Amino acid sequence: MVNGGPSGFYEVPYAGGGFRYIKRPYDVTDPGAYAVEIRGDSMTPRYEAGEMVIASPEKEVHSGDYVVVQLANGEMAIKRIKFHNGMIVLSSVNPSVEAWVCKPEEIVSFHKVVWKKEKA
């Protein structure tokens, strides 16, 4: 589970348990893939609160991809990533949320979002 932003939190992904179980989609074969429940509205309308996404540490990330990102300061979020002039820009879909511009060393990890389950 991720609740992004300055007061956010991140539960470290692990296989075998968590807050909720979901079926692995047939085309997600990465054994390290994990699900994250969306909280907040920074990625609305692409990802909305209550939806689930699966991130894959195995997949290569390119500019323009959506990722689950963990910053060195502990903040976590789902953002659109862009690599630009040695910096990493993390932007939201919601125009009212300002993009984060980070040095590579300010980022612990980023994993590509490979699947989304909409709210029922």
Tell me 47's DSSP state: S
Structural domains of the chain sorted by starting position, each given as residue range(s) with its CATH number in brackets: 2-117 (2.10.109.10)
At 61-92, the pLDDT tens digits run 999 999 999 999 988 899 999 999 999 999 99
Q: What is the pLDDT of residue 23?
A: 82
pLDDT higher than 80, residue 27: yes
Dihedral (CA of 71, 75, 37, 50) sign: negative
35 vs 63: CA distance, rounded Å: 22
pLDDT higher than 90, residue 1: no
66-71, strands of its sheet edge to edge: 34-37, 52-56, 107-117, 66-71, 76-84, 87-91, 100-102
Structural tokens at position 113: 């979002």
The pTM of this model reads 0.84
Q: State the virtual CA torsion across 102, 86, 93, 42 in degrees, nearest 10.
A: -10
